[in-house]
């Protein structure tokens, strides 16, 4: 081990004892057979090329395959789960249904239709999706893709669409794409309004810069890792709005259940009656899910989530011979699949009810998270343990959904910023050296939560105080080693890495193809989020805008330092009239052209450029390289 204080440290004696105790207490059902069931082929090399070198390399996780017992630097339950997710290949789920797993964070499913493949969720990138399609064709016989189903609106379930088909094939009507109602708005909105901050936080949630290994990234909980490539999006040709909708897709009968507001704002389960197979989307996986992802999202409705699982049992349970999801591995047999759904149903209901019981007793968010412990009925099942979400984090999410961030204590109503609080705490404790000494004492005693809290004040008060940064990194690291949750581990390790190296992630930019899918209302919303209101104070006007490619008329106005928008409107007293395509406006928002460049584009006409300069000339630019664990 290097003597460099910036290098990762081994597990402390306290961490080694904690993980050994966790291993001794672990009593889980065997999932190894399920995770390997039906394996018929693997990718020839396990290496999938991408735009930045290898997009995926299964050898990154050979260390998990080669050692069954967890090292002291990894929680034994997470190590076990990581080994299960490291199983990769093409699996026969049932007759005429196959899944490729272990080549992306999500699964891709192939169903044999009359003429070609019906594909469920084409992964996150075109490179991994194409590699899996090639594997299926080489193993099972080449077939064209006739249908794609997006189960829900998260990127890892549609981003690889161009690896299995093309926009031309979709436009010609040769490939149907189905998605739940509201898919397009939800798919792009999550990457639109809060895209830069979500992107930055996703680096922490998924450990995207951490090297795989016993002292680094182990698993995301839902799958191994995020592939190294950017996603694409092709809009669905059909949306499913009603539960009970039945369609025949390339000769395959499918019955749909719409489940909005569960794991995603737009999501659906569906049953294949002839196969006795239920696709439960991502509403149930082999982990307790996150009800509020670290990257950010709207807090999910655990009560509705539980009820939709019950509805799935009521709709499909009698005819269900097996169940598969879009992460992890299937459940085989009617009884096993039914019991699995019942336990998942009860887990989300328990999270909801027991959090709100405590809230109604006057307990605060942090008090509930500390008090609420999973009962044995969940701890003895691997799929209800916290490899992705945790009881602590999810209880806070339930509280937030109902109560909000404020705990009712007026001392928390208007606190100082972390920098200002940090300076005051450090001064009150006698200065940086005194805080460091107390934090070192806590660290030496294995009280890493307290050393982390103390050092957070020190780092925000004096971010250049090297000893404080490095001890905070060491504290984060030990908390990571003890974490059962993949995102908790990755978040701690990412914080440690950034404190040691000074790095703040990588620059991230919105995908061009996703921008191409935005409708006018979404583009206007993006203008509003980026508008520097302090620079347009006192300005008031409205612009008539005709978007020729979609033949829509919109009135876009500025007043009281905020944007307002009226679709399907043309005003008699507008300050300016603009004619363009919506993609001409998207070019400005992407930074491809400035306002003058926009007015010079072919097909663009502007009768008065001054309001346009005011509106589009004062837009902020975002970076995803801002600080998180320091000022």
Sequence ranges of the domains in the chain: 31-402, 518-616
Contact 127, 227 (CB under 8 A): yes
The string of pLDDT tens digits covering residues 309-323 is 999 999 999 999 999
Show the DSSP H helices in 121-277 as ranges: 126-140, 167-171, 183-189, 195-206
* Residue 590 pLDDT: 87
Q: If you count them, how many residues does the chain have?
A: 631
End-to-end C-alpha distance for the chain, whole angstroms: 31
pTM of the model: 0.96
Token couple for 623: 């970076």
Sequence-distant (6+) residues with CB within 8 A of 291 are 299, 300, 302, 305, 348, 351, 389, 393, 394, 397, 398
Instruction: Tell me which H or E stretch contains 452.
Output: helix 448-461
Query: Helix (H, G, I), strand (E, B), or coil: what is residue 571?
Result: coil
Nearest-angstrom CA–CA distance, 615 and 599: 13
CATH number for 518-616 (one of 3.40.50.720, 3.30.1050.10, 3.40.190.10, 3.30.420.40): it is: 3.30.1050.10
Query: Helix (H, G, I), strand (E, B), or coil: what is residue 177?
Result: strand
> Tokens 């989307």 appear where?
281
Q: How far is CA 278 from the centre of its chain?
A: 23
Contact 330, 93 (CB under 8 A): yes
Nearest-angstrom CA–CA distance, 575 and 609: 10
Q: Does 518-616 match 31-402 at the fold level?
A: no
Contact 72, 15 (CB under 8 A): yes
Reduce the secondary structure of 247-312 to three states and give it as a string.
EEECCEEEEEEECCCCCCCCEEEEEECCCCEEECCCCCECECCCCCCCCCCCCCCHHHHHHHHHHH
* Residue 515 pLDDT: 65
Q: What are the backbone angles phi and psi of residue 179, rounded to the nearest 5°?
A: -155, 160
Cα angle 111, 117, 121 (rounded to 5 degrees) comes to: 70
* Residue 507 pLDDT: 66
Nearest-angstrom CA–CA distance, 306 and 98: 28
The string of pLDDT tens digits covering residues 158-173 is 999 999 999 999 999 9
Nearest-angstrom CA–CA distance, 249 and 236: 14
478: exposed, middle or buried (C-beta count within 10 Å: 0-12, 13-18, 19+)? buried
Cα distances (angstroms) measured from residue 307 to each of 314, 319, 469: 10, 19, 46
Contact 310, 344 (CB under 8 A): no
Sheet with 89-94, strands from edge to edge, namely 39-41, 89-94, 97-101, 108-112, 117-120, 145-149, 176-180, 238-240
400: exposed, middle or buried (C-beta count within 10 Å: 0-12, 13-18, 19+)? middle
* Residue 508 pLDDT: 59
Please tell me the CATH code under which domain 31-402 is placed. 3.60.15.30
Nearest-angstrom CA–CA distance, 617 and 536: 10
What's the average pLDDT block by block, 10 residues per block, for the chain (631 residues)? 85 98 93 97 97 96 97 98 98 98 98 98 98 98 98 97 98 98 89 86 95 98 96 95 98 98 97 98 98 91 98 98 98 98 98 98 97 97 97 97 95 96 97 98 98 98 98 98 98 98 71 67 94 97 97 98 97 97 92 94 97 96 89 95
Token couple for 122: 């084409």
* Residue 511 pLDDT: 46
* Residue 311 pLDDT: 98
């Amino acid at each position: 081990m290097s003597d460099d204080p910036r290098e990762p440290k081994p597990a402390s004696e306290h961490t080694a004892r904690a993980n050994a105790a966790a291993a001794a207490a672990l009593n889980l059902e065997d999932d190894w057979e399920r995770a390997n069931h039906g394996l018929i082929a693997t990718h020839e090399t396990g290496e999938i090329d991408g735009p930045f070198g290898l997009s995926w390399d299964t050898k990154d996780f050979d260390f998990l395959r080669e050692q069954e017992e967890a090292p002291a630097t990894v929680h034994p339950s997470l190590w076990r789960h990581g080994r299960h997710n490291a199983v990769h290949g093409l699996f026969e789920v049932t007759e005429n249904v196959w899944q490729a797993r272990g080549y992306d964070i999500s699964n891709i499913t192939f169903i044999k239709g009359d003429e070609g493949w019906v594909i469920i969720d084409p992964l996150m990138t075109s490179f991994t999706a194409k590699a899996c399609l090639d594997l299926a064709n080489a193993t099972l016989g080449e077939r064209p893709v006739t249908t794609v189903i997006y189960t829900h609106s998260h990127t890892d379930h549609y981003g690889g669409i161009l690896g299995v088909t093309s926009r031309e094939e979709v436009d010609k009507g040769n490939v149907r794409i189905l998605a739940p109602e509201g898919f397009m708005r939800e798919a792009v909105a999550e990457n639109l309004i809060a895209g830069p901050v979500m992107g930055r936080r996703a680096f922490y949630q998924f450990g995207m810069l951490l090297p795989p290994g016993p002292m680094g990234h182990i698993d995301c909980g839902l799958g191994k890792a995020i592939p190294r490539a950017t996603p694409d999006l092709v809009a669905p040709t059909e949306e499913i709005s009603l539960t009970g909708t039945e369609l025949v897709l390339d000769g395959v009968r499918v019955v749909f259940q719409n489940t909005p507001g569960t794991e995603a704002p737009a999501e659906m389960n569906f049953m294949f009656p002839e196969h006795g197979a239920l696709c439960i989307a991502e509403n149930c996986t082999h982990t307790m899910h996150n009800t509020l992802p670290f990257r950010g999202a709207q807090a999910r409705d655990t009560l509705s989530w539980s009820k939709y699982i019950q509805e799935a049992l009521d709709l499909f349970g009698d005819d269900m011979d097996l169940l598969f999801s879009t992460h992890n591995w299937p459940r085989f047999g009617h009884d096993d699949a039914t019991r699995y759904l019942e336990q998942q149903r009860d887990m989300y209901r328990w999270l909801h009810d027991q959090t709100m019981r405590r809230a109604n007793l006057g307990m605060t968010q942090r008090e509930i998270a500390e008090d609420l412990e999973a009962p044995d009925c969940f701890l003895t099942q691997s799929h209800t343990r916290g490899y992705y979400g945790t009881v602590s984090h999810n209880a806070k999410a339930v509280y937030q959904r109902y109560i909000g961030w404020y705990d009712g204590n007026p001392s928390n109503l208007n606190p100082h910023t972390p920098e200002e609080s940090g300076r005051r705490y450090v001064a009150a404790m006698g200065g940086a050296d005194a805080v460091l000494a107390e934090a070192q004492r806590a660290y030496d005693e294995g009280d890493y939560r307290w050393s982390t809290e103390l050092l957070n004040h020190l780092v925000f008060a004096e971010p250049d105080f090297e000893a404080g940064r490095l001890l905070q990194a060491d504290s984060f690291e030990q908390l990571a080693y003890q974490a059962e949750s993949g995102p908790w581990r990755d978040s701690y390790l990412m914080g440690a890495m950034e404190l040691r190296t000074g790095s703040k992630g990588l620059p991230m930019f919105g995908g061009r193809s996703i921008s191409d899918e935005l409708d006018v209302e979404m583009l206007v919303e993006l203008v509003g989020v980026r508008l520097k209101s302090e620079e347009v104070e006192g300005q008031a006007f409205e612009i008539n805008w005709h978007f020729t490619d979609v033949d829509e008329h919109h009135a876009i106005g500025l007043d009281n330092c905020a944007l307002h928008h009226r679709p399907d409107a043309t005003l008699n007293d507008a300050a300016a009239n603009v004619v363009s395509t919506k993609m001409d406006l998207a070019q400005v928002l992407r930074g491809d052209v400035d306002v003058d460049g926009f007015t010079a584009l072919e097909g663009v006409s502007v009768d008065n450029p001054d309001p346009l300069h005011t509106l589009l000339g004062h837009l902020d630019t975002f970076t995803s390289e801002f600080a998180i664990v320091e000022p």
